């Protein structure tokens, strides 16, 4: 069954992945190479998308910025999955004191509203690419703990799990052979959607100075560096903003499409 959202989303994300991998072949320029003699050039004249205040090629920086965005998306969701899935399985399967403690910690984390949680974590870790990835990884973890825990709670009451227990399967086998495979579908959907959230969060932190530091070509940071030239060179804000929006749209369409493919029972309205 071909799913339109998934297809369009994959094409968008695919183009960005292609650009990120083959950056060196797509553009001959260096993303960090500054030349003040060509500062703030408008799009077109020798530079497809113009240059920034230091005379760096905006197109090249956007292409290399895709690398940073994918690194952040995959690494942060990876951390969230590695921490969140085992904790969610254990909490849902065992319940009891351990579950209560983990859920209270999750409550405390979620008591900071949305993006502010990422800001607070970034405060205590300090700004750099590595700490940014850890911060957003931690920020994304509660979602997966709750998601996997909720699925585990309902799956462990299913007859096939009861059956497995009745024939004497170990807890380890029950969790990894019976429960995990059956709660993985919503995890795949949320992981895809969460990559978009990670990219937006990283850009937001980069924008307020708590994320990736200069001269790294990160899209949020590029917008932040361009804001004082909004009058002379609004394209410096628009192009990275557009790249961000498009890539996040790609991940969202993929996630929505996957949701329809993996949950065929729920009809799309």
Q: CB neighbours (10 Å) of residue 156? A: 20
Contacts of 139 (CB under 8 A, 6+ apart): 76, 117, 118, 121, 201
Q: Minimum CB separation from other proteins for residue 149, in Å?
A: 9
- Determine which residue in the list 32, 125, 185, 188 makes contact with other proteins, applying CB under 8 A: 125
Buried b (16+ CB within 10 A) or exposed e, 103-120: eeebeebeeeeeeebbbe
Q: Minimum CB separation from other proteins for residue 16, in Å?
A: 13
Q: Which is nearer to other proteins, 27 or 156 (CB)?
A: 156
Q: Minimum CB separation from other proteins for residue 28, in Å?
A: 29
- Determine which residue in the list 15, 40, 115, 260 makes contact with other proteins, applying CB under 8 A: 115
Q: Which among 34-42, 63-71, 166-174, 233-241 is the span making contact with other proteins, rule CB under 8 A?
A: 233-241
- Contact set for other proteins, span 151-210 (CB under 8 A): 196, 200, 203-204, 207-210
φ/ψ of residue 57, rounded to 5: -70, 115
The CB-side HSE value for 69 (13 A sphere, CA atoms) comes to 36
Q: Are 51 and 222 in contact (CB under 8 A)?
A: no
CA 114 to chain centre: 15
Q: Are 205 and 138 in contact (CB under 8 A)?
A: no
42 binding other proteins? (CB under 8 A): no
Taking alpha carbons only, the member of 58, 232, 80 closest to residue 148 is: 80
Taking alpha carbons only, the member of 63, 64, 45 closest to residue 55 is: 45
- Determine which residue in the list 53, 150, 164, 261 makes contact with other proteins, applying CB under 8 A: 150
4 binding other proteins? (CB under 8 A): no
- Determine which residue in the list 117, 138, 180, 254 makes contact with other proteins, applying CB under 8 A: 117
116 binding other proteins? (CB under 8 A): yes
Q: Which is nearer to other proteins, 36 or 266 (CB)?
A: 266
- Binding stretches for other proteins (CB under 8 A): 104-105, 107-108, 110-117, 119-120, 123-126, 143, 146-147, 150, 196, 200, 203-204, 207-210, 220, 223, 227, 230-231, 234, 237-238, 241-242, 244-246, 248-249, 252, 269
């Amino acid at each position: 069954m071909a799913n339109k959202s998934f297809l369009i989303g994959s094409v968008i994300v695919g183009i960005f992945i292609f650009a990120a991998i083959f950056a060196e072949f797509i553009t001959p320029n260096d993303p960090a190479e500054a030349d003040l003699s060509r500062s703030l050039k408008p799009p077109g004249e020798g530079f497809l998308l113009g240059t920034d205040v230091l005379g760096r090629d905006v197109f090249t920086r956007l292409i290399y910025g895709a690398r940073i965005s994918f690194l952040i998306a995959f690494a942060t969701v990876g951390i969230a999955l590695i921490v969140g899935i085992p904790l969610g399985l254990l909490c849902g399967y065992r319940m009891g004191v351990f579950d209560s403690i983990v859920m209270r910690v999750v409550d405390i984390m979620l008591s900071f509203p949305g993006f502010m949680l990422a800001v607070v974590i970034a405060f205590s870790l300090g700004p750099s690419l590595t700490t940014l990835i850890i911060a957003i990884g931690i920020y994304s973890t509660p979602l997966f703990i709750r998601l996997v825990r909720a699925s585990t709670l309902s799956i462990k009451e299913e007859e096939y799990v009861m059956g497995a227990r009745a024939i004497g399967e170990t807890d380890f086998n029950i969790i990894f052979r019976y429960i995990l495979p059956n709660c993985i579908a919503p995890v795949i959907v949320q992981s895809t959607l969460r990559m978009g959230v990670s990219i937006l969060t990283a850009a937001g932190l980069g924008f307020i100075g708590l994320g990736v530091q200069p001269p790294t070509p990160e899209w949020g940071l590029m917008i932040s560096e361009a804001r004082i030239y909004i009058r002379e060179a609004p394209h410096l804000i628009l192009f990275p903003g557009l790249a961000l929006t498009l890539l996040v749209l790609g991940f969202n369409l993929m996630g929505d499409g996957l949701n329809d493919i993996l949950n065929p029972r729920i009809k799309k309205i």
